[in-house]
């Protein structure tokens, strides 16, 4: 395997907005779970089926499962985003294309980090609301919404990666 160039990428204004938004969403996520904990019933929804209907209940402490999992994923993505030369790419990385390819991939990871926190936050919010009886599950729109929010940026990033490769040739 050829050694890829190591480049320090500069954050664009959009990158900074996404990063700050991610940290705000993570903080809001934790605050929501902590504040709502004391008002939750002893058993809350812990799982939803493909239609967004509750299909399992458990102790209210499980309201912290997604914030913990989200924080771990957030930290992992924040760590790996600093080493874009180690990622798998759809094109060969060279000195000439490294800057563009690394930028494309780090933007994708940065965006997915925000999306994952927001999706987890929505699940916990809907769990809290279902526990209070103000709503009933996630709704049938949630799974398709989640799939679009995750797959579209990935496909766009792959398209952008190949397009940049073609522009170089």
pLDDT bucket at 165, cuts 50 / 70 / 90:
low
Return the number of other C-beta atoms located less than 10 Å from residue 163's C-beta.
11
Under 8 Å CB-to-CB from 59, ≥6 apart: which residues? 42, 43, 44
Give the integer Cα–Cα distance in Å for 85 and 102. 7
Q: What pTM did the predictor assign? A: 0.87
Kindly report, residue by residue over 128-145, the tens digit of the pLDDT.
999 999 999 999 999 999
Burial of 14 (0-12, 13-18, 19+ CB in 10 A): exposed
Under 8 Å CB-to-CB from 140, ≥6 apart: which residues? 51, 52
pLDDT bucket at 61, cuts 50 / 70 / 90:
very high
| Residue 43 backbone dihedrals phi, psi, to 5 degrees | -115, 130
């Amino acid at each position: 395997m050829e050694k890829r160039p190591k480049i320090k990428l500069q954050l664009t204004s959009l990158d900074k907005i996404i990063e700050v938004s991610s940290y705000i969403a993570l903080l809001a996520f934790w605050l929501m779970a902590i504040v709502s904990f004391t008002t939750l019933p002893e058993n809350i929804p812990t799982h939803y089926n493909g239609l967004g209907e509750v299909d399992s209940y458990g102790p209210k402490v499980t309201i912290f499962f997604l914030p913990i999992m989200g924080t771990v994923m957030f930290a992992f993505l924040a760590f790996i985003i600093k080493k874009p030369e180690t990622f798998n790419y759809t094109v060969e990385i060279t000195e000439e294309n490294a800057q563009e390819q690394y930028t494309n991939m780090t933007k994708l990871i940065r965006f997915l980090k925000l999306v994952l926190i927001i999706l987890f936050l929505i699940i916990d919010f809907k769990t809290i609301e279902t526990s209070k009886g103000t709503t009933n599950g996630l709704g049938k729109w949630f799974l398709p919404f989640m799939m679009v929010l995750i797959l579209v940026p990935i496909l766009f990033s792959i398209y952008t990666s190949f397009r940049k490769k073609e522009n170089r040739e």
